Amino acid sequence: MKLSKETIKNLLAEKGLRITPQRMNILEAIYTLNNHPTAENIIEFIHEMHPNIATGTVYKVLETFVENKLIKKVKTDRDFMRYDGLLEKHHHLYCSESDTIKDYVDDELDNILKDYFRKNHLSGFQIEDVTLQIRGTFDK
Amino acid sequence: MKLSKETIKNLLAEKGLRITPQRMNILEAIYTLNNHPTAENIIEFIHEMHPNIATGTVYKVLETFVENKLIKKVKTDRDFMRYDGLLEKHHHLYCSESDTIKDYVDDELDNILKDYFRKNHLSGFQIEDVTLQIRGTFDK
DNA sequence: GTATGTGCAAACTTTTTGCACTTCG
DNA sequence: CGAAGTGCAAAAAGTTTGCACATAC
């Protein structure tokens, strides 16, 4: 999921965010790394080409991106944050034996869930979004 | 979901864990607090009656409980861990406006999911468990 | 030019660790 | 008694913050 500089610029511009080299690099890193990187993964990746980008900046930029819905935080039960650049609706496969998280996209599943929650209204709760955590192991 | 001292002892004994006052207090706290407490919530609760229990001990005991499947870690996109004492299969309602997480139990939903994954085999992945993250807002 | 973003280093928060001491069984 | 658990305080790990400087528009 490698994006061109132009596409990345447009993504930022659409959200009314200033286009800075740091933001472009960080967004590019997330799309290139693409397997739900941690802040550290992103920093490491960027430092190979741009060693002068600051840790604090990366965290600030990531927060900005989350607020502007360019990326999402991924829920985990580990003590560090992971980020997700896939904007399309999707679910996650969590590996029990490693830190791998893979995306799972399927319209049929989404329709089944939509149907279920249309029929079974949760009283006192307005649903915004439903995603599955599918825990298991990848075949060796 | 308040449990008797006897029940708590049995839970520990069944897992072959030594019964200590600290472990009993921590397990009791989780069941009493019951809304997916953080380590801090648990420490605070326990300190009211037993001010001499150490923070490090609480973390060590929580890890032991997770390893022995007495409790589970709850996946969140926040930077602190939350714990769940409900052993029955269930899903989670995450509030977008607060840190509230509520349980959602429904057999019909579980059957629908079981059906779906029986029909749609994920190649290269052995499913152990599927849980829903239902994000939204509670009515005021 | 000015509002916004960045670098840096210090601080903060949450969790982990090592080791002497204590306790459960 | 011996293995396992606890307290404590120090440190690690991850993230946030404040402020002077730099840059996008």
User: What is the C-alpha to C-alpha distance for residues A22 and A114, in angstroms, rounded to an integer?
Assistant: 39
Number of domains in chain A: 2
Task: List, for residues B41-70, the tens digit of each pLDDT value.
Answer: 999 999 998 988 999 999 999 999 999 999
- B77 and B9 housed in the same domain: yes
DSSP state of B90: -
Q: What is the dihedral of CA B86, A36, A63, A50, to 10 degrees?
A: 150
Question: Residue A74: which pLDDT band, with cuts at 50, 70 and 90?
Answer: very high
What pTM was computed for the model?
A: 0.92
A128: domain CATH number? 3.30.1490.190
- B77 and B98 housed in the same domain: no
Q: Which residues of B touch A (CB under 8 A)?
A: 72-77, 79, 81, 93, 96, 102, 104, 106, 108-109, 112-113, 116, 120, 122, 124-139
- B34 and B66 housed in the same domain: yes
- A11 and A75 housed in the same domain: yes
A63: domain CATH number? 1.10.10.10
User: B72: closest CA among B62, B80, B64, B83?
Assistant: B83
- A78 and A108 housed in the same domain: no
Question: Residue A86: which pLDDT band, with cuts at 50, 70 and 90?
Answer: very high
Residues of A in contact with B136 (CB under 8 A): 125-129
Partnered with residue A55 across adjacent β-strands are none
- A56 and A12 housed in the same domain: yes
Asked if A88 contacts A105 with a C-beta cutoff of 8 angstroms, the reply is yes
Cβ contact B130–A127 (<8 Å): no
Question: Residue B25: which pLDDT band, with cuts at 50, 70 and 90?
Answer: very high
Residue A4 has pLDDT above 90, yes or no: no
Cβ contact A75–B133 (<8 Å): yes
Task: Calculate the CA B18 to chain-centre distance.
Answer: 21
Q: What is the pLDDT of residue A139?
A: 87
Q: What is the pLDDT of residue A140?
A: 78
User: What is the C-alpha to C-alpha distance for residues A36 and A133, in angstroms, rounded to an integer?
Assistant: 14
Q: Which has more confidence, A35 or B74?
A: B74
* Locus of tokens 């995603």: A131
Residues of B in contact with A109 (CB under 8 A): 116, 120
- B17 and B60 housed in the same domain: yes
- B53 and B116 housed in the same domain: no
Q: Residues 34-63 of chain A: which lie with beta carbon within 7 Å of strand C?
A: 52-57, 60-61
Burial class (CB in 10 A: 0-12, 13-18, 19+), B32: middle
Q: Which domain holds residue B113?
A: 91-136
Task: List, for residues B68-125, the tens digit of each pLDDT value.
Answer: 999 999 999 999 999 999 989 999 999 999 999 999 999 999 999 999 999 998 989 9
- A14 and A67 housed in the same domain: yes
Task: List, for residues A90-138, the tens digit of each pLDDT value.
Answer: 999 999 999 999 999 999 999 999 999 999 989 899 999 999 999 999 9
For chain A, give the percent of residues with pLDDT over 70.
Answer: 99
- A114 and A59 housed in the same domain: no
